[in-house]
Amino acid sequence: MTIEYLDSKRLSGLTADRTGGSITLDAEANNHASASATSITISGFTVGDNSNKILIVSVGSYNLSPTVSGITWNSSESFTQIDTVLNGGRADLWYLVNPTSTTSDIVVTYSSSASSRSAGVTSLYNVNQSTPIGVTNTATGTGGTIAGTITPTTTGSWIIDSAMSLTGLGAITDTLTAGFSNLIGGVDRSHGTQYSASPTINSANAMTWTNGQSSYSWLGAEIKKAEGNLTNLQDNSLLVEKDTARRYWFDANPLLDDNFSTDNWTDSGANVSISSGVMNFDIDRTTTDQSSYYQLSRALSDTKWTMRLHDVIVTTKSGGVEVFIGVSSNTSGAQTAQDFIGLNLGDNTANPVLGGVDSDGAVIARLAGDYTYSLSTTYNIEIIRESATSYRIKVFSNSGFDSTALFSQSYTCTATTTGLQYVKFANGQVAGSTENIIGTCSKMEIFDGVTTASGGGQWTMQPTFEDDFSTNKGWVENSGNSSVNTTTGKLDFNLSAVSGSDNGIVYDLGAGNVSDKFILRCKLHITTSVNNNNHRCWIGIGNSDQSIDESANQYFVGASLYDQAGSNGLNSNLANNTDLQTTFSSSSVYTWSDNTDQWLEITKTETNIICKIYSDSTYVTVSASADLSTAFTGSGTLRYIKLVNRGDVSGGTFTGTIDDIEFYNGVTSIN
């Protein structure tokens, strides 16, 4: 999956492995020379075949000039300079992201012939490939101690430096992990590199060199760790923010995907066996444990997961035999205390029935079967933990799990049913004789942290703003005709047409929180609508911090709930610093009945206003639609949700309630 143009991103969940592994040293090498030349080469260096690679080259020069004009790896791969610092001599740091894994040369080229010079390369992997360099710092001075510091800000970072000393008592001496230290001309010209693999984050880390004597130049940099892949998200969710839109995406890659091509189950044998890509079960009614289990890499979420059983076929069911299929807190048989959620493919009758079954620290006990299936018929079954206290069993006829469910029923469980890590087939372990249940299953999947796995993942949206009116979040009313009713949890409106009167209501979303695309939704219940041309109701987003009536000039995007002929209807409405009766879409007559719930959706794209009335709370069935193609030229900032009455004439009333208002910024589709 690729996500582009993100302003920020963060994870939402119980745990997440986003480490990408620690930064690791691959190889090091260095070279130095005192005879003048236009380059210096580190020959025959090998870069290993690792992930998220980087080369860091440290360069030291005795003279201020010439400068390093470029560095290459493998003849044609060019480095980027991190920084350079000079104080008598010169120190450089350069980097190359994702170098080719091979054995080749690093060539440091100067702008002209250079005398005493040194270069060293450090090869690392598990390094951030998009922004590998974090904080940098430089220092110059004189004396026996080269004093540089780096304050890294990213957990897991390394710090590395390049230090050049002009005069001293020999090679300078590192105080951290040594990279190299070279005398590059006599005993008074020294260059070196050191690093720390575990610096203190958000604190100044000293990168000190000793054994200097006179002028020095020092440069340090933070090397940032790779973020890695999004794996092991217990609720498999990634929260992505762009502008002020908030979008959830979950990764529905299965935690378990077993097509039974190999036997990875424990104690599978005569009663539960795997062969030819099929799980075979032949469970007896007996007090002997005939269970088999598979251990997941971690315990499942305690609130949501989905288990899928593909192509379940029961060929034989006799007597009161039972087989429990689900996820348990331990490896033991059904008559051992455990936490368990799953289904039972039988009950204490000879009938082929199935239903939910669970236990909380007790033995697995049968529940009455709720769905009668047919023998030798293929079924696909989902076991879904929907919350801490509920789970659901679904039965489908097709392996895509996308047809209408043949059976769907919710069951209650306790919130303390936790630690489920062992997928289990188990018999009921009750006395019997020749009673048994025989069948097969072709594939098993478990998706952790989600309650659906359809389509391999999906987007769901969280509103930028939502209000159920249980409290007044800051709505400002005028004239007392519209108000938040916290008792009923609704916004009551009475938008009478009164000349010169404003009796609307407004909510401030805040500056900068409304982009050029948005969706506004609400549940609308119209109590009284006098059917004449005077009753009107506008709802939308405008630039005015008052709910000023429709006759006032304003920038407004929204819907009008009437048509120009005076009938019940729906229009898309735009005011580009005009009154609200200036620009409408063509009328979409929609005759509603008073005291009937309907759901309004207003969508603003870059070129259109699309308003729809739905008959259902899921916003699926459209009752009326109005689309206005227009140019948005109004000045001011859209930021206020508002209900507006007609204020240029008198007569007519429009009363009702609004509930469950939602605002989605930066998007034109919820799905």
Question: In this model, does residue 164 exceed pLDDT 50?
Answer: yes
Specify the pLDDT at position 570. Answer: 78
Over range 450-464, report the average pLDDT.
58
Sorting pLDDT into bands at 50, 70 and 90, what band is 653? confident
Specify the pLDDT at position 166. Answer: 80
Specify the pLDDT at position 241. Answer: 37
Burial call 242-271: b when 16+ CB within 10 Å, e when fewer: bbbbbbebbbbebbbebebeeeebeebeeb
In tens, the pLDDT along 491-512 reads 988 876 665 566 678 898 887 7
Find tokens 């923010």 and name the residue. Answer: 241
Tell me how far apart the alpha carbons of residues 192 and 208 are, in angstroms, rounded to a whole number: 11
Report, in this order, helix, strand and coil percent for the chain, each rounded to 5: 0, 55, 45
Specify the pLDDT at position 560. Answer: 83
Would you state the structure tokens that stand for residue 445, as one six-digit string?
Answer: 């999947």
Specify the pLDDT at position 407. Answer: 94
- Secondary structure of 490-531 as H, E, C letters: EEEEECCCCCCCCCCEEEECCCCCCCCCEEEEEEEEEEEECC
Question: In this model, does residue 547 exceed pLDDT 70?
Answer: no
Better-predicted residue by pLDDT, 588 or 230: 588
Tell me how far apart the alpha carbons of residues 430 and 552 are, in angstroms, rounded to a whole number: 80
Q: In Å, how far from its chain's centre is CA 359?
A: 33
Specify the pLDDT at position 444. Answer: 94
72-86, 111-125, 250-264 — which is least confidently predicted?
250-264
181-195, 217-231, 240-254 — which is least confidently predicted?
240-254
> What are φ and ψ of residue 190, in 5° steps?
-135, 140
Query: What is the DSSP code (8-state) at residue 454?
Result: G
* β-pair partners for 104: 45
Specify the pLDDT at position 583. Answer: 64
Question: In this model, does residue 457 exceed pLDDT 50?
Answer: no
Residue type, 177: T
Q: What angle do CA 352, 355, 361 make, to 5 degrees?
A: 130
pTM above 0.85, yes or no: no
Closest to 329 in 3D by CA, of 303, 366, 363: 363
Over range 193-211, report the average pLDDT.
92
Specify the pLDDT at position 11. Answer: 34
Tell me how far apart the alpha carbons of residues 387 and 451 are, in angstroms, rounded to a whole number: 9
Sorting pLDDT into bands at 50, 70 and 90, what band is 373? very high
Question: In this model, does residue 543 exceed pLDDT 50?
Answer: yes
Specify the pLDDT at position 536. Answer: 66
Sorting pLDDT into bands at 50, 70 and 90, what band is 49? confident
Question: In this model, does residue 544 exceed pLDDT 90?
Answer: no
Q: In Å, how far from its chain's centre is CA 634?
A: 35
3-state DSSP assignment of residue 429: coil
Sorting pLDDT into bands at 50, 70 and 90, what band is 234? very low
3-state DSSP assignment of residue 535: coil
In tens, the pLDDT along 311-326 reads 999 999 988 888 899 9
Q: In Å, how far from its chain's centre is CA 663?
A: 20
Residue type, 478: N
Residues 596 and 615: beta-carbon distance below 8 Å:
no
Sorting pLDDT into bands at 50, 70 and 90, what band is 588? low
In tens, the pLDDT along 7-24 reads 333 333 333 334 457 899
Question: In this model, does residue 239 exceed pLDDT 70?
Answer: no
Assigned CATH class of 256-454 = mainly beta
Over range 517-546, report the average pLDDT.
78
- Mean pLDDT (the chain) is 82
Q: In Å, how far from its chain's centre is CA 114?
A: 52
Tell me how far apart the alpha carbons of residues 348 and 506 are, in angstroms, rounded to a whole number: 62
Query: What is the DSSP code (8-state) at residue 17?
Result: B
Q: What angle do CA 569, 573, 577 make, to 5 degrees?
A: 150
3-state DSSP assignment of residue 456: helix
Tell me how far apart the alpha carbons of residues 479 and 182 are, in angstroms, rounded to a whole number: 83
Specify the pLDDT at position 584. Answer: 65
C-alpha distances out from residue 167 to 84, 161, 207, Å: 20, 19, 19
Cβ-based neighbours of 173, under 8 Å, separated by 6 or more: 181, 209, 210, 211
The segment(s) of the chain belonging to CATH 2.60.120.200 are 256-454, 467-665
Domain over 467-665 is classified CATH 3.40.50.300: no
